[in-house]
Amino acid sequence: MSDYYDTLGISKDASQEEVKKAFHRLAHKHHPNKGGDEKKFKEINEAYQVLSNKEKRSQYDQFGRVFEGGMPGGGAGDPGWFWANRSEGFSSENGFEFDLGDMGDIGEIFGDFFGFGSGSRSRKAKDVRRGSDIKIELEINLEETLKETRKIISLRKMVVCSRCSGTGAEPSTKINECFSCRGTGQVQQIRKTILGSFTQSAVCPECGGEGQKPEKPCNVCKGEGRIKDEEDIEIFIPAGVDTNQVIKITGKGNAGRRKGRAGDLYASIIVKPHPIFERKGDDLYVSCQISFSRAALGDEIEIPVLGGAKILLQVAAGIESGKVLRISDKGIPHFGAMGRGDMYVELIVKTPKKLTKKQKELLEELKKEGI
């Protein structure tokens, strides 16, 4: 194998700027798109990746291409060493491998040329006619989390044009292939760089990437295939749903352009605070006041239940204020599972502020008894 410095035609004391200039000159000369030799182009790129990186260059100057220790899988003489230790590499279908981390615009050029750049990926993934997603907030009461419910909301959004049925064309008129891109949705553009001129694909500006155009645009939607209007949407809300959970309604976002796929609707749930109950996960917490005499003697007291009638709770004699009692299966249903949470009742012993004469007399008697 030739020396990296010899590959780039520079001396060992060449500056980083000289390394870069030599690479630009040779890459332009040997680029495969310019009729150059692919093997030579790969050698030039490999040399540049090492010599343009201070750490790799220092290691190369010290050990050369045969590096015996410290690197699992072999030294620099091992073909896998360079690519295994690159910071950010890519492989093309024809076997080329590049480290694009420090190459800036050049990296983007190589990426577009070999089909692994971010630009080409985004163009392939983009659906130009798909409608956008919509995100809304949907408020519900705590009682509505106890069972499956359905809500109908009225939403102003892009809907399919009724006149053209979403085609974007006036009824009884044709939809023609785009003259500019010949139905491909893309056009070729020539881009000039320091390495020369390159041809790359771009979204056709005439048809917006759709590959076709109405012969006569619809009078209502002006060729869009959709208009702004109100639509009633039914949203299914499962039992046990909680604040910040999101429900996806597929295909209920904005309508797509010219029969394109509709976006999705995302409803973020907000459970409104309850005046009595506090929710913690699937459990409910409630406070209940009882009189001093009932706490001392014990009794049955009525406890409220979310979404239902009150229940009787047996209070043991001598219970203290702040005592928390658990009632099983009286909380919120588990989301997507069987069963329910529990309800926790905090008993607060109420101290009367105003007493009748008889009450005072009775308390005085109790006081004498040490109570």
Each residue of 2-28: pLDDT tens digit?
Answer: 789 999 999 999 999 999 999 988 888
Mean pLDDT of 205-234: 91
Please report whether residue 204 resides in a domain: no
What is the rounded distance in angstroms from the CA atom of residue 253 to the CA atom of residue 174?
Answer: 28
Instruction: Identify the CATH number of the domain in which residue 247 sits.
Output: 2.60.260.20
Helix axes 118-125, 105-114, angle to 10 degrees: 50
77 or 139, greater pLDDT: 139
Query: Are 217 and 203 in contact, with CB atoms under 8 Å apart?
Result: no
Let me know if residue 112 belongs to a domain. yes
37 vs 329, which has greater pLDDT?
Answer: 329
Same domain, 24 and 136: no
Let me know whether 245 and 146 are in one domain: yes
Considering the domain boundaries, does residue 269 fall inside one?
A: yes
* pLDDT on residue 329: 93
Strand segments (E) across 111-173: 134-140, 149-160
**Of 273, 290, 311, which closes a domain?**
273
Q: What is the pLDDT of residue 208?
A: 78
Give residue 56's pLDDT.
83
Alpha-carbon torsion, ordered 288, 289, 295, 299, to 10 deg: -60
Instruction: Report whether pLDDT(125) > 50.
Output: no
Are residues 286 and 351 located together in one domain of the fold? yes
Say if residue 166's pLDDT is above 50.
yes
Same domain, 243 and 339: no
Residues 144 and 76 in one domain: no
Q: Grade residue 98 by pLDDT with cuts at 50, 70 and 90.
A: very low
Terminal alpha carbon distance of the chain: 101
Q: Give per-residue burial for 141-162: e unless 16+ CB within 10 Å, then b.
A: ebebbbeebeeeeebebbbbbe
Q: Is the pLDDT assigned to residue 75 strictly greater than 70?
A: no
Question: Whole domain around residue 146: which residue ranges?
Answer: 128-162+223-273
d(CA 314, CA 298): 8
- If asked whether residues 251 and 283 sit together in one domain, one would say no
**How many domains does the chain contain in total?**
3
Better pLDDT: 116 or 290 = 290
Q: Are residues 101 and 116 in the same domain?
A: yes
- pLDDT of 35: 76
Statement to judge: residues 10 and 110 lie in one domain: yes
Q: Which residue has the higher pLDDT, 121 or 262?
A: 262
Specify whether the CB–CB gap between 253 and 133 falls below 8 A: yes
Residues 228 and 364 in one domain: no
Which two structure tokens, joined as six digits, stand for 195?
A: 């390495």
| Confidence check: pLDDT of 198 > 80 | no
Specify the residue for token string 């706490």. Answer: 295
Mean pLDDT of 242-251: 93
Report the DSSP pairing between strands 324-327 and 343-350: antiparallel
Average pLDDT of span 319-325:
93
Residue 181 lies in a domain: no
Q: Angle 54-63/38-51 helices, nearest 10 degrees?
A: 100
Q: Are residues 116 and 92 in the same domain?
A: yes
Predicted pLDDT at 103: 44
Q: Give me the mean pLDDT over the 216-243 stretch.
A: 95
- Assess whether 353 and 285 both reside in one domain: yes
Question: What pLDDT was estimated at residue 64?
Answer: 63
Instruction: Using pLDDT thresholds of 50, 70 and 90, give the confidence band for residue 195.
Output: low
Query: Rg of the Cα trace of the chain?
Result: 37
Order of strands, edge to edge, in the sheet holding 265-271? Answer: 134-140, 265-271, 246-249
What's the pLDDT at 203? 83
- What average pLDDT score do residues 295-317 get? 91
Q: Within its chain, how far is the Cα of 108 from the centroid? A: 26
What residue has token string 């429900």?
247
pLDDT band at 353 (very low <50, low <70, confident <90, very high): confident
CATH number reported for the structural domain that contains residue 11 in this entry: 1.10.287.110
Residue 280: is its pLDDT beyond 60? yes
Residue 108 and residue 91 share a domain: yes
Alpha-carbon gap, residue 155 to 157, rounded angstroms = 6
